[in-house]
Amino acid sequence: MAPQARDGRQPESAAGLDAATVVKEFYERYPYPRPIDDLDNYRRRWQDANRRRADFHLFWPHKPYTEERTILVAGCGTSQAAKHAVRCPAARVVGIDFSATSVRHTEDLKRKYDLRNLEVHQLPIDRIGDLKMTFDEIVCTGVLHHLANPGAALRSLRDVLDQDGAMHLMVYAPYGRAGIYILQEFCRGIGIQPSDVEIRDLVVALGALPARHPLARLLHDAPDFRQEAALADALLHPQDRAYSVPQLFDFIAGAGLTFSRWARQAPYSPHCGVMAQLPHTSRIVALEPVQQYAAAELFRGAMMSHSVIARRDDSPGRSQAISFYGEAWLDYVPVRVPDTLGIQERLPPGAAAVLINRAHTDTDIYLPIDASEKFLVDAIDGERSIGEITGDKPRDACRALFERLWWHDQVVFDGSSQINPV
Ligand SMILES: C[S@@+](CC[C@H](N)C(=O)[O-])C[C@H]1O[C@@H](n2cnc3c(N)ncnc32)[C@H](O)[C@@H]1O
């Protein structure tokens, strides 16, 4: 099906079309993620109202919480759109994917779980405008890096994002995927094609990979990677590119979007973990944020993807980023992020607890707090503002604590009831 030129843009080139067809056929044969038919555990996890609220304020720190929104899951694969419909019953969820297999699996989940808030379309991203809808939230994870023209696709998504909407993007990152790119080249070089027999042989070959190979660590850390769908997606994909931090920022800006925050920001921060203790930390902190994040990516060296929240570059929410200048932060209501944990064993000297976020993979990212800080952290209830929690405690110390909690992905803020000046 030929894409139509809209809004003055050119249709995809013949080469682009061919590449899209190859990718489509690949996903019809090897749908990703591996199809599932049970969302019961997923539903139970998201019945936690705090989890839903923390997720909302990650995207919209300055809006009052609501579950009524329109969500587009672009390149939804086998289950992602159904998951969003399950976790957010009051939302209207639209899933699109150009693979018939992905759409069929999503339809199966829709039927099984009676998801009346979900509609699914077999549609390429660059034709999203055909639906004549706009969306509060767009989720596009693991997709754009497989496209012949990712910039045009991102622009199409931007065109259907509400002015105050938010987009969650995940794209591959280059340095942590070095081992994957080595093996991709190995497969290409000897002509390994995506077929069941070839994949079986590849699993055997990977079992014999030398322990020092850059891919060996990944195979060890992520046994799921040996599953057929994951293996094909990583090693035999006909089209795959990755974005370093500066490339990602250019990609976002080129589509008329602006960076809002990382889905998890601690690994990118010079204020967290080992990055905060380098002889160069003060030099890194003095850089512009994008250069700080780029330095973190290079220093950490193992990021495999970037997960980012972006908004339109004309969004009113742009100017409402979280800020610890002025007094406005006193009105923020801290909401605990799910998967955070306070550990109270084998503590460093002076610590009353060590806070971690189980979603972090970097083991150097943890936050020791002393007894007076723990008192304040324990008082976080998702209802009271920082000002109400801290009362007449010293301002600067309180600000530093809540800023650290935020950078370490321990809390998000509901800043919708702003009284103090920014
Ligand atoms: C790696 S899977 C990711 C699935 C899902 N987003 C997730 O994170 O679970 C990529 C999906 O994007 C779809 N896809 C790739 N290019 C597309 C395009 N141009 N238009 C629509 N869907 C596309 C594929 O069919 C596949 O189902």
From the CA of 80, give the closest atom in ligand 1. 9
∠ CA 118-307-161, rounded to 5°: 50
Would you state the pLDDT for residue 1?
31
Choosing from 27, 143, 171 the residue with most ligand 1 atoms within 8 A of its CB, the one to mutate for a pocket test is 143
Question: Is ligand 1 within 6 A of the CB of residue 143?
Answer: yes
Would you state the pLDDT for residue 375?
97
Task: Provide the 10 A C-beta neighbour count for residue 212.
Answer: 7
Architecture per CATH, 14-174+242-320: 3-Layer(aba) Sandwich (3.40)
**What tokens does 167 get?**
């987009």
Task: Provide the 10 A C-beta neighbour count for residue 298.
Answer: 12
Distance 188 CA to ligand 1 centre (A): 22
Distance 77 CA to ligand 1 centre (A): 5
Cα–Cα distance for residue pair 218/230, rounded to 1 Å: 12
From the CA of 153, give the closest atom in ligand 1. 19
Q: 390 with 376: CB under 8 angstroms?
A: yes
Distance 200 CA to ligand 1 centre (A): 24
The DSSP output letter for 316 is G
Alpha helix stretches (DSSP H) within 368-419? 371-378, 386-390, 395-407
CA quadruple 313, 16, 182, 198: dihedral, nearest 10: 130
Cα–Cα distance for residue pair 24/238, rounded to 1 Å: 10
Nearest to 354, CA basis, from 342, 338, 339: 342
Cα–Cα distance for residue pair 310/365, rounded to 1 Å: 24
Would you state the pLDDT for residue 422?
53
From the CA of 125, give the closest atom in ligand 1. 20
Classify 171 as helix, strand or coil. strand
Q: Which residue puts its alpha carbon closest to atom 12 of ligand 1?
A: 75
Distance 293 CA to ligand 1 centre (A): 27
For residue 317, give Cα distances in angstroms to 160, 164, 311, 359.
Answer: 17, 6, 8, 27
Task: Provide the 10 A C-beta neighbour count for residue 410.
Answer: 23
Question: Is ligand 1 within 6 A of the CB of residue 149?
Answer: no
Choosing from 97, 144, 227, 305 the residue with most ligand 1 atoms within 8 A of its CB, the one to mutate for a pocket test is 97
Classify 335 as helix, strand or coil. strand
CA quadruple 373, 378, 384, 387: dihedral, nearest 10: -10
Question: Is ligand 1 within 6 A of the CB of residue 30?
Answer: no
Would you state the pLDDT for residue 3?
32
Nearest to 218, CA basis, from 191, 178, 256, 257: 178
Question: Is ligand 1 within 6 A of the CB of residue 55?
Answer: no
- 162: amino acid identity, one letter: D
Distance 311 CA to ligand 1 centre (A): 21
Q: Which residues lie across from 305 on neighbouring strands?
A: 172
For residue 286, give Cα distances in angstroms to 103, 270, 294, 325.
Answer: 48, 10, 13, 17
Number of helical (H) and strand (E) elements in the chain, helices listed first: 16, 12
Question: Is ligand 1 within 6 A of the CB of residue 147?
Answer: yes
Q: Is it true that the peptide bond before 33 is cis, omega within 30 degrees of 0?
A: yes
Burial 321-332 (b: 16+ CB within 10 A, else e): ebeeeeebbbbb
Choosing from 27, 138, 154, 240 the residue with most ligand 1 atoms within 8 A of its CB, the one to mutate for a pocket test is 27
Q: Which residue puts its alpha carbon closest to atom 1 of ligand 1?
A: 142
Residues of the chain with pLDDT under 70: 1-17, 223, 226, 317-319, 419-422
Would you state the pLDDT for residue 317?
66
Nearest to 18, CA basis, from 148, 184, 161, 199: 148
Q: Which residue puts its alpha carbon closest to atom 10 of ligand 1?
A: 143
Distance 74 CA to ligand 1 centre (A): 7
Cα–Cα distance for residue pair 338/245, rounded to 1 Å: 26
Question: Is ligand 1 within 6 A of the CB of residue 77?
Answer: yes
Instruction: Please state the domain extents for the chain.
Output: 14-174+242-320, 179-228, 328-414
Question: Is ligand 1 within 6 A of the CB of residue 97?
Answer: yes
Cα–Cα distance for residue pair 301/187, rounded to 1 Å: 24
Task: Provide the 10 A C-beta neighbour count for residue 401.
Answer: 20
From the CA of 73, give the closest atom in ligand 1. 6
- 155: amino acid identity, one letter: R
Would you state the pLDDT for residue 84?
98
Would you state the pLDDT for residue 228?
75
Global pTM reads: 0.92
From the CA of 77, give the closest atom in ligand 1. 27
Q: How far out from the chain centre does Cα 349 lie?
A: 35
Distance 145 CA to ligand 1 centre (A): 10
